[in-house]
Chains A and B, each alone.
Chain A
Amino acid sequence: MMNKYIICCFLTFFCLYPSAFAQTQSEGSEIQNGKPVVFIDWEGADLELIQKAINFVDHTEEASIAQINVRVTSRAMETGDTEYTVSFIGQGDYEGDNDELKFSAPKDKPENERQMELADLIKMGLMRYVGKTPVSDRVSISFMDKVEPTAVEDKWNFWVFNLSADTFLNGEESYKSGMLSGSISANRVTPELKIRMSLSAFFDESEFKFDDEVIKSESDSLNINGLFVKSISEHWSVGGFFSTSSSTYSNIKLRLNPAPAIEYNVFPYSESTTHQLRFLYRLNYINVRYREETVYEKNYENLWQQSLEIAFEVKKKWGTASASIVGSHYFHNFKYNRIQLNGELSLRLIRGLNFNIYGRYSRIRDQLSLPRGELSLEEVLLQQKQLATGYSYRMSVGLSYKFGSLKSKVVNPRFGTGGRSISISF
């Protein structure tokens, strides 16, 4: 039984579950089982042929027992063409769910071709009903052509501009914090060329009260970012990054960083949502001015650096996996380098059993911006300033097992669930 289920699943790709074994417990008047019953009222048509073409419904010759009445009428136009009107009228469970489609056939089109084209149109019209039954799992809808996503009339030529401003405040008697951010961006993304430019500013302040003493902390940053990517082929791209930044956390007054780059993707870019394995090489020029003198006794520097990133990502039926490695070093002294590893895996091992793991490790030998002075305990605890470190890591593992009535589709919102959610990311 289970084996058969798995094979069926495989054959129909992702069709069979979840409603093949559907529990018929859902609230509302949803139709749960079997094909919808359709009556086609079309004078002069070869009904047998049409019914054979529309094989995902049950046909009836009794209008009154049908759940959907399909009526095809035609009228001759002045041009000699024929205009057909197809009306869909829902009955019973589909009461009130009606639709109407039009189709016009030139006078020289043979009758049998017209009928087949109309049958195709009826199929499309029936989707709104079929979509509410388990039959929809075995129906597949495909577009027969490849078309450029840019085949639209666009007077802005794909440029999109955005201005935004946000603020966030919170506090209680002994603690207050406030944040303000703003950004301007201009983007143009087409399959051939990707241009992204943005300017963003961020300001953050917090205050702790401890015995009559007030501990205040502030940080701000300003970033200008640019990205320009030209597509060469399905596997190669060239372009560059540009960034300027300023940050109190990293002791940077102003940092300019233009970086030409080239990328190779082992898989075609058009399959990126399923899998990608990208090699991205960057050559960085860095001009930096520090806020305070650094441990290396510098107030400003001009540096060259190169980096290579290898990123792998796959999203399949069994789960999602991604891994990346980034290595970089400065040219003036090779011992200033950094390696960063990242991995994430989320798997369904067997039905009900999910496993996920995330890990990140950095080996850090390039903290050129560390200030010379001492840091206070608050600066350390509140992570306001970057600390000297040779490494950093982060990892998490999770395992969860669910069993029981996993097919249940019941929704019961009583006593709350399903409110709004907010997610904030920086």
Chain B
Amino acid sequence: MTVNIGREKVRKIFLPLLLVLFLFCVLSARLSFSQEELTDIEELKKAAPKVFIDCGICDMDHIRTEITFVNYVRDRKEADVHVLVTSLRTGAGGREYTLAFIGQNRFEGIDDTHKYFTEATDTEDEIREGMAKALKLGLMSYVAKTPISRRIKISYQDVIQETAVKDKWNSWVFSISGNGRLSGEEHYKSKSISSSFGASRVTPELKISLSLYGSHYQDNFDYDSTSLESTRDSLSLGGQVVKSISDHWSYGAYFDSGSSSYENIKFGFTLQPAIEYNLFPYSKSTRRQLRFLYRIGFNSVRYREETIYEKMEQTLWKQSLSITFDIKEKWGSVSTTFSGSHYFHDASFYRLTLFNILNIRVIKGLNFFAFGGGSRIHDQLSLVKGEISLDEILLRRRQLATGYDYFFSVGLSFTFGSIFTNVVNPRFGSHGYGGMHIIID
């Protein structure tokens, strides 16, 4: 191949072309050179473990790009290893990810659990790198039992062990944040601003958290000489203290204060001591919990406008019980919360709420979910006496009188065909394809 073609002009045109050609040659030469080795590796890859990664929050494309020594499948029943990823928030605002490696089919009985921690301010890239690393570590037990293990290299870089530094903050974490939003077009404009301050201290024995939050929303409509302005404000200060008694019992208190235009509250204050019993040990919380939380306390409110009960202010005692059941297993997840509360001055002011999520994958290829909830509402003490305008209703600016509310959703999805999901192909971007997508984690 020669680049020496006499004239300058021709060279200018042909140089890039030749370069492309040259690159192509190099590329194909490299391909044919490694052909023999390639077929061998392909055989090894065919026998590599089949992995199902059960994680709604993982960057799957990154995992598939980084870890190429296993085969990814889309159905748990096809897998040799089912990796069930669950997470909980840590005291510092990061997350604790628990990766349960569950061996099945040819690896039946080989199980392991690894943990991975992130910090609150880790970037997306750091989080996905850490997750890929934790996955690699956990997968080694399975990969070592297949022939592809010959091609894995483990290296170690020794550095001087840093001694653990003393925590001068004594487990306290503080956060300050502010957010602003704007959107609009010719006939419609909307803006909002919110800000919060938080302080917390979480240790296994004691959990303290405190937060201050304020927000302001404003919408403007302008259509056919009708112009509407609608605003919604809220300000709140809340906190909780929880003391651990045993692996099953805890006690503590909640307090809340604030104002809300939606609920017609000028200023409200609530203080509720509480006690909780968890049937399962708290240390199993990411996989299962059955908690009974009882609260009793008072609620003191000043209203913005007179209520339908002709009150401008009230101080009332109230008790509530909520029962939460959560389970997450290979076959899916179930989550149920039932809560009930009533006021002491008149027991006919009560509320019952039920909330349910069910996600099941028992049959190969079939995914079923249902979630729903409803409330029986008999405690709308803050409803405004006067009339509410149409725009306040349509834009949901005011709480409306209602005896109930509900929501319900059910979905069924059946997938068949190729079980492998090894490929990452980002060409032409990723496009949404309409319809509704529901992720239950």
Contact = CB atoms under 8 A, between A and B. Distances in A.
A259 to B, nearest CB: 11
A161 B152 CA distance: 34
A106 interface: no
Of A151, A156, A392, the most chain B CB neighbours within 10 A belong to A151
Contact of A263 (B61, B175, B418, B427): B427
Nearest to B367: A164
Contacts of A138: 156-159
A128 to B, nearest CB: 5
A92 interface: no
Interface stretch (A66-74, A290-298, A331-339, A395-403): A395-403
A208 B282 CA distance: 44
B173 interface: yes
Contacts of B162: 5, 8, 16, 20-21
B390 to A, nearest CB: 6
Given A162-B413, A407-B119, A410-B202, A170 B408 contact: yes
Interface stretch (A75-83, A193-201, A299-307): A193-201
A278 B158 CA distance: 40
A42 interface: no
Interface stretch (B9-17, B131-139, B311-319, B341-349): B131-139
Contacts of A269: 425-427
Contact of A402 (B61, B174, B250, B286): B174
A149 B422 contact: yes
Contacts of A265: 427
Interface in A36-85: 55-56
A254 interface: no
A140 B204 contact: no
B368 to A, nearest CB: 10
B276 A179 contact: no
A421 B123 contact: no
Given A99-B110, A377-B223, A409-B92, 16 more contacts: A33-B164, A127-B137, A138-B156, A138-B157, A140-B157, A143-B68, A152-B420, A161-B415, A194-B425, A280-B428, A393-B182, A398-B177, A414-B278, A421-B440, A423-B439, A426-B435
A128 B81 CA distance: 14
Contact of B169 (A17, A125, A198, A404): A404
Interface string B90-125: 111110100000000000001010110111111111
B394 interface: yes
Contact of A405 (B69, B87, B171, B326): B171
A416 interface: yes
A123 B154 contact: yes
Nearest to A364: B185
A183 interface: yes
B152 A426 contact: no
Contacts of B151: 143-145
B149 interface: yes
B229 interface: no
B371 to A, nearest CB: 6
A113 interface: no
B100 to A, nearest CB: 13
B441 A421 contact: yes
A419 B155 CA distance: 38
A55 B154 CA distance: 10
B89 A418 contact: yes
B138 A128 contact: yes
A11 B157 CA distance: 10
Contact of B68 (A22, A139, A149, A425): A149
A166 B418 contact: no
